[in-house]
Structure 1
Amino acid sequence: MEAFLISTGIVALAEMGDKTQLLSLVLAARFRKPWPIVLGILVATLANHGLAGAVGSWVTTVLGPNILRWVLGVSFIAMAVWMLIPDKLDDEEGEDAPRMGVFLTTVVAFFLAEMGDKTQIATVMLAAQYPSWFMVVAGTTLGMMLANAPVVWLGDAITQRVPLRWVHLSSAVIFAVLGVVALLS
């Protein structure tokens, strides 16, 4: 039980203000369908944290911190540009799902955003420290859900009152800043 509780607490705290929390808000603003987004976050987190114990340390040694930094920085900047491009979804106020569907789009985006993230690294370290891999993954997943699910519902409520264009512009600026910070750090 110790592995579960410590894993939950560490990841919930580490996730506060993290890029995946921002991604949760962006997905909620873009798609306005909280349940498929939350379920997508759950599936992506289970997959990512499940693999983190097995491949997380291998990926960081093969790619190294500089390559991971560049991948993250360029990805954030690309996301900032993407946020500025209007699409059919915006024109119809979120009624239609994206080509892959809200759920699958969330799974892919969230899984990729977690690659090399501090919570993924924390999962690798916790799995190395505690003998119960299952309890660590269950705890880190619960921590992610405690930090991100409320953001999805908050984002959905905000987009009901704030024009979607403002949300996109704000998100684009935040992603661009995160990209520059990642490249410069």
Structure 2
Amino acid sequence: MIAAILLSFGVLFVAELGDKSQLMALTFALRYRWWIVLGGITVASVLVNVIAVGVGHFLGAALPTELIALCTGIILLAVGVWTLWASRHEEPDPDEPVPTGPTSAGRAFLIVISSFLLAELGDRTMFATIALASNHNWVAVWAGSVAGMVAAGGLAIAIGITVGKHIPERAVAVASGLLFLYIGAATLLGAVAPDLGKLGEYSLAAVVPLLGGAVWGLLGRPDRPEEEPAEPHSLQGR
């Protein structure tokens, strides 16, 4: 059982390196607190590997991966557009604290879970888990797969935190939006044109964030209302 856990951990960790899911973890780490992202990744990993183990060990069937990938790509593109739009109209106030209440944290947590769950369904890591579960102890495969995915996500989160400390908030928002556009475009291309291969898929997907960045730059930042000049304070004698 220990051997199956270690095997599953190694396979899933290596499979996640450089994958769209790891890039997504890095992107979320630029926007949300690390514990929210890591918690969302953990929950999504638990759920998706339950499905993968069930399919591989008990059913031996396949999921409609093309439809799932298509829906995932559309959702990620929408998130990218929304993030870029919000970055133009939401001017951060240095005197206003960042919202960290249960409502905003819960919303971010659900966004991370749903995005990762959709991204992992039908992904190569899920097929790896299905294959492992069909030949090894399913509990060990599930535990090792979850640990491998969370470890890879944690690595991406650490990189995102390090990068996010050195760039302005607006630049983080724009970079996040462009990354979401790229991931969504790559996911869509993988669903509608699987013959392109990974190289063609990732290369063509780069066109979408380039266009998005160009449009964002042409639109420019929205005009801010002019502030009325402050009245001069009267001088008081000592």
CA pair 43-181 structure 1, distance change in 2 beyond 3 A: closer
With normalisation by structure 2, the TM-score equals: 0.65
Q: Is the 8 A contact 2:65 2:122 kept in 1?
A: no
Backbone CA RMSD of aligned residues? 2.7
Q: Is the 8 A contact 1:30 1:90 kept in 2?
A: no
1:136 counterpart SS class: helix
Report the CA distance between 1:105 and its aligned residue.
3.4
Question: Which of 166, 174, 179 is the aligned partner of 1:161?
Answer: 166
**Higher helix fraction: Structure 1 or Structure 2?**
1
Once residues 34 and 14 of structure 1 are traced to their aligned partners in structure 2, the CA distance between those partners, rounded to angstroms, is 22
Where in structure 1 are there 5+ consecutive unaligned residues?
A: none
Q: Is the 8 A contact 1:29 1:164 kept in 2?
A: no
Match of 2:28 in 1: 27
Report % sequence identity. Answer: 32
Once residues 90 and 15 of structure 1 are traced to their aligned partners in structure 2, the CA distance between those partners, rounded to angstroms, is 35
Q: State the aligned residue count.
A: 180
With normalisation by structure 1, the TM-score equals: 0.81
Match of 1:83 in 2: 83
Where in structure 2 are there 5+ consecutive unaligned residues?
A: 194-238
Q: Is the 8 A contact 1:89 1:96 kept in 2?
A: no
Once residues 132 and 51 of structure 2 are traced to their aligned partners in structure 1, the CA distance between those partners, rounded to angstroms, is 13
Deviating runs (4+, > 6 A) in structure 1? Answer: 87-90
Structure 1 residue identity aligned to 2:37: I
- Whose relative contact order is higher, 1 or 2, with alpha carbons under 8 Å and at least 6 apart? 1
Q: Is the 8 A contact 2:53 2:133 kept in 1?
A: yes
Range with bigger deviation, 94-103 or 20-29: 94-103
Range with bigger deviation, 93-102 or 148-157: 93-102
Report the CA distance between 1:48 and its aligned residue.
1.4
**Based on CA coordinates, which of the two structures has the bigger radius of gyration?**
2
Question: Which of 138, 141, 149 is the aligned partner of 1:136?
Answer: 141
